[in-house]
Amino acid sequence: QSVLTQPPSVSGAPGQRVTISCTGSSSNIGAGYDVQWYQRLPGTAPKLLIYANDNRPSGVPDRFSGSKSGTSASLAITGLQAEDEADYYCQSYDSSLRGVLFGGGTKLTVL
């Protein structure tokens, strides 16, 4: 099935570490396609956080990191800050759909 599954929500206290998972299948992440992660702050356009699984664009703090293994990927955020409260989306190409898939999104709450 061509979907990318994320937890609907995660939370953490300031300074803590949180991870957001993204589970795919053999037609997307498991097929070796790169995973990207986007951050969407309320009322703003999405922002590229991680590309090609574990690469940060210039300007993105090193508190954000990505990893990929098998049919899954993860985004880790360390030293959680109030400004990190946002929706996070994973994304990858899917060979069955012959197009790009976004995960359903995860709302991060900073307690």
Chain contacts with other proteins (rule: CB under 8 A): 34, 36, 38, 40, 45-48, 51-52, 57, 89, 91-93, 97-105
Among residues 13 and 99, whose Cβ is nearest to other proteins? 99
Among residues 12 and 51, whose Cβ is nearest to other proteins? 51
Shortest distance (Å) from residue 55 CB to other proteins: 9
Q: Is the CB of residue 58 less than 8 Å from the CB of residue 49? A: no
Q: What gap in Å lies between CA 11 and CA 22, rounded to an integer?
A: 16
Q: Is the CB of residue 7 less than 8 Å from the CB of residue 90? A: no
The token pair at 96 is: 């069955």
Shortest distance (Å) from residue 36 CB to other proteins: 5
Shortest distance (Å) from residue 40 CB to other proteins: 8
Among residues 100 and 111, whose Cβ is nearest to other proteins? 100
The token pair at 69 is: 């293994």
Among residues 47 and 63, whose Cβ is nearest to other proteins? 47
Partners of 37 in beta bridges: 50, 90
The token pair at 22 is: 């993204």
Shortest distance (Å) from residue 110 CB to other proteins: 21
Give the count of beta carbons closer than 10 Å to the beta carbon of residue 53: 17
